[in-house]
């Protein structure tokens, strides 16, 4: 009993230390949001198929945090198709970011245990030897790609708080 109480106390203290620096951030006027450790400035662009793309990046403690939020022009009703589109988009981003190594996509993730979402995770390395951790989410209407990268070893638990913080509209 004492051990579980002590463990719970330390876990609460650990999470509280991160929550003090976390802020809820609206991703421009997309309806999506996330929790961030640093200030994001968002840019809005349009993809070749006229989907709206919001991007933002910030740096804290030598770690770059980023978000790419895509409001799809044509929603996918089939979540398997939506997941494949999301993976194709991640493959495109690998080229854009100069990624040279990839661990491979881990599938089967659900955003906040929502069965109407799909998520994948991957670990990358770029040409400058930055370590990346990427998590992408979709509900068929939006794709959210959250990532963190650094030349240093990534703080997994802190980064996971950010990567899992994406919120879709009406969530």
Per-residue pLDDT of the chain (171 residues; tens, 9 = 90+): 455 444 445 444 444 554 458 999 999 999 999 999 999 999 999 999 999 999 999 999 999 999 999 999 999 989 999 999 999 999 999 999 999 999 999 999 999 999 999 999 999 999 999 999 999 999 999 999 999 999 999 999 999 999 999 999 977
Q: Is residue 125 part of a domain?
A: yes
Q: Is residue 109 part of a domain?
A: yes
Could you tell me the CATH number of the domain that includes residue 158? 3.40.1000
Q: Is residue 170 part of a domain?
A: no
Distance of alpha carbon 166 from the chain centroid: 6
The predicted pLDDT at position 2 comes to 52
Q: What is the domain extent for residue 144? A: 23-163
Are the C-beta atoms of residues 54 and 66 closer than 8 Å to each other?
no
How many domains does the chain fold into?
Answer: 1
pTM: 0.87
């Amino acid at each position: 009993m004492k051990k579980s109480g002590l463990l719970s106390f330390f876990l609460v203290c650990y999470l509280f230390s991160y929550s003090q620096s976390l802020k809820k951030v609206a991703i421009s006027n997309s309806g999506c949001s996330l929790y961030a450790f640093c200030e994001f400035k968002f840019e809005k662009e349009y993809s070749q198929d006229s989907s709206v793309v919001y991007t933002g990046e910030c740096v804290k403690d030598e770690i770059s945090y980023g978000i790419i939020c895509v409001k799809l022009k044509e929603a996918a009703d089939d979540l398997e198709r939506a997941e494949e589109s999301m993976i194709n988009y991640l493959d495109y981003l690998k080229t854009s970011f100069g990624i040279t190594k990839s661990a491979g996509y881990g599938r089967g993730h659900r955003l906040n245990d929502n069965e109407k979402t799909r998520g994948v995770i991957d670990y990358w390395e770029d040409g400058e030897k930055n370590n990346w951790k990427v998590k992408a989410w979709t509900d068929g209407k939006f794709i959210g790609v959250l990532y963190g990268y650094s030349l240093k070893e990534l703080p997994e638990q802190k980064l996971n708080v950010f990567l899992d913080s994406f919120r879709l509209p009406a969530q």
